[in-house]
Amino acid sequence: MGTRPENLEQALSAISPNTLSLRLKTLEEHGMLERRFYTEHPPRAEYLLTDKGRALGPALKALFEWCKKYSR
């Protein structure tokens, strides 16, 4: 299941919509995300992690754990 841009905007309220849009576009261009459009009107999209994006998960988790341990 993917995530709609409006849900990302709510979850990442500290980031402006323009910045979020640019970041999503960059991640899509690098093959980390895939954008899928719904067939409903008005046109809507959702973002899904690609295999490449999912493969980054363990590295991000390790970095998160390192930060928790050493940023005291």
* Predicted confidence (pLDDT) per residue in 5-58, tens digit: 667 767 777 788 888 889 999 999 999 999 998 887 888 888 899 999 999 999
Amino acid 1: pLDDT:
56
pLDDT of residue 13: 73
In this prediction, residue 2 carries a pLDDT of 64
DSSP assignment, residue 9? H
pTM over 0.75: no
Query: What domains lie within the chain, and their CATH numbers?
Result: 5-70 (1.10.10.10)
